[in-house]
């Protein structure tokens, strides 16, 4: 191993922040963003089947999303800009059900966030523009999408929303219900 540093989230089992080894010189840098063998050795034995990328501007909040019958493991990172990335535990019987964890992902820090099946996921864009990429362990099924309200007080996510800014949401993200109404 040694190519990646994996830091498990102490508060919520299963979540992991991954830092790749970055090789840099006067020309720029090189890093391996994913290697199945290294991830497997680090306890992340997942086969990814779909890669996605989105671009959003400052203040956009996407989430909190999950697939209901086709849950996905996700490996997320930012290739341009900066986001505050969040996962909420929705695993039945989990001692941390309903708890959240957030981390800053940026093109500069090159960190990745592994989110296993059973979590809702979302992010807030903190830079002028952010390009966000993620690997998924199952295909997206449009009729299987679920979500939670980003501002649900019962979850209590401490989003770093600057004073006076209202996050920009999609219509669907405005309509999600809170965790008290969550049904698996």
Q: Identify the DSSP state of 60.
A: B
Dihedral sign from CA coordinates of 73, 120, 58, 159: negative
Of 34, 57, 121, 134, the active-site residue reads: 134
Going by C-alpha positions, the residue among 102, 145, 92, 138 that lies closest to residue 122 is 102
pLDDT of residue 165: 87
* Domains of the chain, earliest start first: 47-181 (2.60.120.10)
Distance CA 148, CA 63 (A): 7
The pair of structure tokens assigned to 126 is 């903190």
Backbone phi, then psi, for 112, in 5-degree steps? -125, 160
- Report the relative pairing of strands 145-147 and 129-136 from DSSP bridges: unpaired
Residue carrying structure tokens 């209901």: 68
Helix (H) or strand (E) holding 179: none
The pair of structure tokens assigned to 111 is 């960190």
pTM equals: 0.94
Backbone phi, then psi, for 88, in 5-degree steps? -120, 130
The pair of structure tokens assigned to 56 is 């959003």
Beta bridge partners of 24: 29
Of 65, 101, 121, 182, the active-site residue reads: 65
How many Å is the maximal CA-CA distance in the chain? 54
Active site residue 134: yes
SS3 170: coil
Active site residue 70: no
- Listing DSSP states for 144-179 in one string gives GEEE--TT-TTT-----PPTT---B--HHHHH---G
Q: Identify the DSSP state of 172.
A: H
**Average confidence (pLDDT) per 10 residues, the chain, 184 residues:** 84 96 92 94 95 97 96 98 98 95 98 98 98 97 95 97 92 96 74
pLDDT of residue 1: 42
């Amino acid at each position: 191993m040694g190519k990646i540093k994996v830091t498990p989230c102490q508060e919520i089992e299963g979540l992991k922040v991954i830092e790749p080894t970055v090789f840099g010189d006067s020309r720029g840098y090189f890093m391996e963003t994913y290697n199945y063998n290294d991830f497997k050795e680090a306890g992340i034995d997942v086969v990814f089947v779909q890669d996605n990328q989105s671009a959003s501007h400052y203040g956009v909040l996407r989430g909190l999303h999950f697939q209901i019958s086709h849950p996905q493991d996700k490996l997320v990172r930012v290739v341009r800009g900066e986001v505050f990335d969040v996962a909420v535990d929705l695993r039945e019987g989990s001692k941390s059900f309903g708890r959240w964890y957030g981390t800053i992902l940026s093109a500069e820090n090159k960190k990745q966030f592994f989110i296993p099946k059973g979590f809702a996921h979302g992010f807030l864009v903190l830079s002028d523009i952010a390009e966000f990429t993620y690997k998924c362990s199952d295909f997206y099924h449009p009729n299987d999408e679920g979500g939670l309200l980003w501002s649900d007080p019962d979850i209590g996510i401490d989003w770093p929303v600057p004073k006076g800014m209202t996050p920009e949401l999609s219509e669907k993200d405005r309509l999600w219900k809170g965790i008290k109404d969550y049904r698996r």
